[in-house]
Structure 1
């Protein structure tokens, strides 16, 4: 992991891509509350950043803290850089901090069976135990989203009586959010990302 306090290269990328306009704070659910000119400006600047950042720079941000990873995940999603799929899967499986839902949004935006596989790998590792992780509900809700998009039923075994989701929910009753309700948020975030991706597709070729 790289730390901004001792890494000038990372600090420069944070200045350029993470903190402008408090971007890292407005990505995710906060973006759904934007409207009018404020929303339009945020979208334009996010799309511009997705076009400016290079693959190497994205890789560096993904080695940083949660703010850097969160921002990088969204830039990856907007620009459709599927070459980062495995790296995002690794970070998700490491379950190393808050706001891991941004990693899920990137996988949901890619929207393939390979992305569902990564989500299932996470669930198979972390649902059998009662431990609370940052992202069980986000991961499972994203799998529900991908099932709907792909016409699959990958989530069904987890939801079945005695399935892993049922077991984990029973073991952690105070930490569980309704995955179907959270899935609606995933749907909205993917719609927002799709809007940005359409604008990105009309820009100059990316780095």
Structure 2
């Protein structure tokens, strides 16, 4: 893993548990891969514009090679964000669960990088659209914190989890299917239970960093 892209999505700073856990993992990765290059992308405390009509018109322009300059401008940030994803081998996303999903800044980032002709294509088969991913050979690690308990697979609240499950779907759609999820749960419970969950998550992240060698 020579190039790592870290995407932080919590609006909180030092109080963010997902950020802190991500830094534990990133430190372990850099220790295991001394020559690795780390790029950070802030989408929680830095503004990522939501998709608007101009973006959609430019993204689906029928002749991408001859887009008007105004449309190129509408896609300028998206091009930067897509290039970041394509230019790194490991994608690390830190994301708290907010109201059963991801923070709005992270959703805006997803909408900016899931781009026809850049990260996926559409091929018609007997008039029916078929989607083809364009991103290959990459891994992703999703590091998430949840206020409640039981949102993981087979948990009693798994059906309410539209956070890391959304990320899995979006990343898989563009071709990133090698995905690991590490979660800390229970911030809204007693502190002892939450701290135990964080310690377990830290241990899992350090092991995962070693396995990426």
**Scaled by the length of structure 1, what TM-score is found?**
0.30
**What TM-score does the superposition give when structure 2 sets the normalisation length?**
0.29
More helix by share: 1
